[in-house]
Structure 1
């Protein structure tokens, strides 16, 4: 009998609301102490410790010790990808209509622009990816990848990326990542990571310290408008 992947064990760990909250709090790629994760999940330190032990044993988290402090992070981008993909799964409501509770400021900020572990997601990430496709800088393929065109290689190089130095993973150089708030794809993979890093280096976007939300600077909006035609008001209106 062929062994089966341990889907049920990982699903069991993620399914618990407290553990899911902790995992999503780490989905920006940063490491955080148990106390911060306990606060995010609204549980006691003892309860948080029990959940974190299970997540460590299940291979979803890694822990780093510095002195007396222990910092937890996701075991890798594959865990963040699984979380994002699971979050994008939702039943289609009958009649196509659904009542929604008013969103909090934090929820609006995350939908507008956020880190998906190490690349840009949310309405902004989707808008940028669409602009790249509209300008034929990247082309979507049937295997959930993006092919970078010669014009795209030239453009990314002009933005400060070293395209010749980027190494594809087993999932390729540029991957389509389904955005869980927008239900459309944004740019992921090594190219998505390098592009996000460069946007930060250019001072176009800022990653917030204690949130997955990403802020766009005035310089960034001007650059995105000039380079890709991405307009702040249009992105705000779409989310």
Structure 2
């Protein structure tokens, strides 16, 4: 038999509705206690404990102790990207906006425009930025991933990206990540994380408290216009 990844193991973890609800409650990057996750899943605390053990053991969630309580979060960006991709596929991206979106406490329009996808930017702006970077030949596709061209490497460094650090991480450098609300992908991988850090550090965007939503600053509007003009 041909060796292959153990996809069925991951599929079984997410085949249970309660476990899916638990994971979806954490897609905003938050860390939450078992009791709160039990409420989101509509199950007892005992059942939630069993499900959380399976999700942690399967590598989808990570647990950390804070005082007398344990808090759970999505294990890493790769898991979060997989969950968003599955959500987009399940919703039928060709049909438009999925009917079930993470709770943000704000409008659907704002959620579609700009938000975080775990550790990188998502939404309309992020999709447009990736499209412009590919059209301007900063990035090119290589199988399912993206690599920086010589021009792209120069321009990304000039923008303020620590490219050596991004390329040296033990994860995919760059890849298209299915956007939950758009029909095209945004930028994921290590480069997507470094781009989000740039946006925040350089005050292009500001995070909204307890939300995945971000607001674009006046400086950000100007800088994003420049990036989108690349293509």
Q: How far 1:45 sits from its partner (Å)?
A: 4.2
Describe the shift of the 1:100–1:55 C-alpha distance in structure 2 as closer, same or farther (beyond 3 A): closer
Residue 222 in structure 1 maps to residue 218 in structure 2: no
Describe the shift of the 1:36–1:211 C-alpha distance in structure 2 as closer, same or farther (beyond 3 A): farther
* 1:89 counterpart SS class: helix
Describe the shift of the 1:41–1:64 C-alpha distance in structure 2 as closer, same or farther (beyond 3 A): same
Normalised to the residue count of structure 1, the TM-score between the two structures is: 0.77
1:189 & 1:102 partners in 2: Cα distance? 25
The equivalent residue for 2:113 is: 112
- Listed as ranges, the gaps of 5+ residues in structure 1 are 231-239
2:87 & 2:100 partners in 1: Cα distance? 19
The equivalent residue for 1:188 is: 188
The equivalent residue for 1:80 is: 80
1:225 & 1:54 partners in 2: Cα distance? 45
Describe the shift of the 1:200–1:41 C-alpha distance in structure 2 as closer, same or farther (beyond 3 A): farther
Offset from partner CA, 1:18-76 (integer Å, 9 cap, x none): 32232123234332222443444455544433432332233321110121121111222
The equivalent residue for 2:130 is: 129
Describe the shift of the 1:127–1:227 C-alpha distance in structure 2 as closer, same or farther (beyond 3 A): closer
Offset from partner CA, 1:186-238 (integer Å, 9 cap, x none): 111111111111111111123334233333223211221134349xxxxxxxx
Describe the shift of the 1:92–1:228 C-alpha distance in structure 2 as closer, same or farther (beyond 3 A): closer
The equivalent residue for 2:155 is: 155
2:97 & 2:127 partners in 1: Cα distance? 24
* 2:137 counterpart SS class: coil
CA RMSD of aligned residues (A): 3.3
Q: Identify which range, 45-54 or 152-161, moves more after superposition.
A: 45-54
* 2:211 counterpart SS class: coil
CA contact (8 A) 2:96 2:182 kept: no
Superposed, 1:3-18 pairs within 5 Å as 5-18=5-18
The equivalent residue for 2:66 is: 66
2:178 & 2:124 partners in 1: Cα distance? 12
